[in-house]
Structure 1
Amino acid sequence: MRTARSRPLRPPERTHAVPSSRASTTDATKSASAGGGSGGVQSLERAFDLLERMADAGGEVGLSELSVSSGLPLPTIHRLMRTLVSCGYVRQQTNRRYALGPRLIRLGESASRLLGTWARPYLARLVEETGETANMALLDGDEVVYVAQVPSKHSMRMFTEVGRRVLPHSTGVGKALLARTPPEEVRALLARTGMPAATEKTITTPDAFLSALEQVRAAGYAMDDNEQEIGVRCLAVPVPDSPTAAAISISGPSGRVTEEATERIVPVLQEVARQLSQALANTAAQA
């Protein structure tokens, strides 16, 4: 097994977003002159901020909750939410609370596929350096979804497929994704998902999981040690400053991903995560 090298990878090619024809001329005109703090369109910035706050709250909120968390007045929030409802990005429930709408699914799936495409050269380097299957995963709501993979060349390898969804508490990528999340938010997530045991080694209590996250922060990487599947060990690190919570990992048989191998693999994971983060930042700056 080779050790990490500083060989740079080519950043992903620049892509060009096609503006939607569904423009809200009233708000855009008003805020184009007033502007947001970033020099953008203030109403758009506020709308996207509300969508992210809804996602952070589990996907369903009331207007008063949004007003408290965002600091915006209720009339402003009501106007923005009415526009988002009319566009299909938010829907109003029978209890008058608001939930994320189905039109976001297509945007999210397309963005996930694109992010996975950008990540593949970096995952290929992980396979080359470690010999094990490399994955990229995102936190989508309360679940972890795998968006990219490059398989190992070994005949015995892991077969976690792209698109698979798992609960965070039993995976290395889940621990890496949640390591910096406030404990109260982690507890709320675990309360929503439950903590079913995939194996006899799965962590099944919130206190034990929070303790594991402390170890992740101290060590700089996460491990799934036979917790999702017996005989399989996974090492994972977050992608720093990713536009959405993302982690990369390698997984393989416990007999190959040993303690000695871990010492060699973790620096490779961390270096590749830094390079991928920089490539994503460069792409965002060019957009």
Structure 2
Amino acid sequence: MNEVGTLKKGLDIFLLILKQPNLTVLEIMNALGINKSTTYRLVNTLEQNQFIVRTDNNRYQLSNALTSMILQNENIPSYELDWKAVPAMKKLGQQTKETIYTGMLMDLEVVITQVINGQYTTRTHMEIGANSPIHHNAIGKCILAHLEETSRDRIINALSLEMYTENTIVTKEAFAKELQKIREVGYSVDDEEGELGVRCIAAPIWKNNKVIAAVALTGPSVRISTEKDDYHANLVQQCAKEITTSIAQDV
């Protein structure tokens, strides 16, 4: 194996553990399709150089020193930290059986950074890396509402507010009022604004008193009904608080 190929495989292992901590060597092998001897050698190298650590049950995660360094660096995109959200997301998924996902803003779009699929046969399907316009997305509206005013106004002025359904907000005045309401209640709702029959509720995730992402619950409108908004919003807000706390603990 040449040096470039070895480096790429080592980086692939590191990024996999970054996004999915607590993996065994066998799970790493299966996920990346790397043979056993190469996987053991590269994992050992990463461990020796204190990029990763082995837990008592022979699983691998980022070292505490590296985790602290990442979390203290505000220039690192929040999606690289999204593995910290998984425990709280799984808890919310168990409580509701619906699809749970996190996302962040990238330019004028929302990018999905982590997904816990719902348990129902009929559920909303989300994919990590997928993107969508800010204005009809609960996560997009939630993050935008909690940005500082200058950044928020700049983004609003750049949005096209294209109509996707009859519920999509398409005027700047109405959109500004929607964001004000979100700031007041602390969560946002996608009320079939991007797709008819699908609703979503999101709450902000914070780091150093700045909104960096949001977590959301999504599903068919027959289950995520307006009558249950308070119930679902409370659960989503609690999930967001747990993720925020998890991020802050290692700073």
Q: What is the TM-score normalised by the length of structure 2?
A: 0.67
Q: Deviations over 1:204-244 (max 9, x none)?
A: 11111110011112222100001011100000010133676
Tell me which residue corresponds to 2:237. 270
Q: Which runs of 5+ in 2 are unaligned?
A: 1-60, 68-72
User: What is the CA–CA distance in structure 2 between the aligned matches of 1:201 and 1:14, rounded to whole Å?
Assistant: 46
The reply to whether residue 178 of structure 1 matches residue 144 of structure 2 is: yes
Which structure 2 residues correspond to residues 118-137 of structure 1 after superposition, within 5 A?
A: 118-137=84-103
The answer to whether the Cα contact below 8 Å between 1:175 and 1:213 also exists between their aligned partners in 2 is: yes
Q: Tell me whether 1:259 sits opposite 2:226 in the alignment.
A: yes
Q: 1:181 to 1:116 in 2, by over 3 A?
A: closer
**Counterpart amino acid of 1:225?**
D
Q: Distance in 2 between matches of 1:128 and 1:13?
A: 26
Task: Report if the CA contact (8 A) 1:136-1:146 is conserved.
Answer: yes
Q: Which has the larger radius of gyration?
A: 1
1:154 and 2:120 correspond: yes
Counterpart mapping for 1:192-271 below 5 A: 192-241=158-207, 245-271=212-238
Partner of 1:95: none
Counterpart CA distance in 2 for 1:15 and 1:141 is: 31
1:189 maps to 155
Cα 1:15–1:138, aligned 2, differ >3 Å: closer, same or farther?
Answer: farther
Q: Deviations over 1:149-188 (max 9, x none)?
A: 1011101111121101112111111111011234554342
Structure 2 CA distance for partners of 1:134 and 1:174, relative to 1, 3 Å: same
1:133–1:158 contact (8 Å) kept in structure 2? yes
Q: Give me the whole-angstrom Cα distance separating, in 2, the residues matched to 1:279 and 1:13.
A: 15
In the alignment, is the contact (CA less than 8 A) between 1:187 and 1:206 conserved in 2?
no
Once the two structures are superposed, the pairs formed by residues 29-178 of structure 1 within 5 Å of their partners are 108=77, 112=79, 114-178=80-144
TM-score, with structure 1 as normaliser:
0.59
Provide the C-alpha distance between the structure 1 equivalents of 2:152 and 2:183, rounded to a whole number of angstroms.
Answer: 15
**RMSD of equivalent CA atoms:** 2.6
**Cα contact 1:236–1:250 (8 A) shared by 2:** yes
CA drift of 1:17 comes to 3.3
Distance 1:165 1:232, change over 3 A: same
Looking at secondary structure, tell me which structure has more strand per residue: 2
Aligned residue identity for 2:170: T
Contact 2:147 2:211 in 1 (8 A): no
Q: Indicate conservation of the 8 Å contact 1:176/1:238, yes or no.
A: yes
Aligned residue identity for 1:17:
L
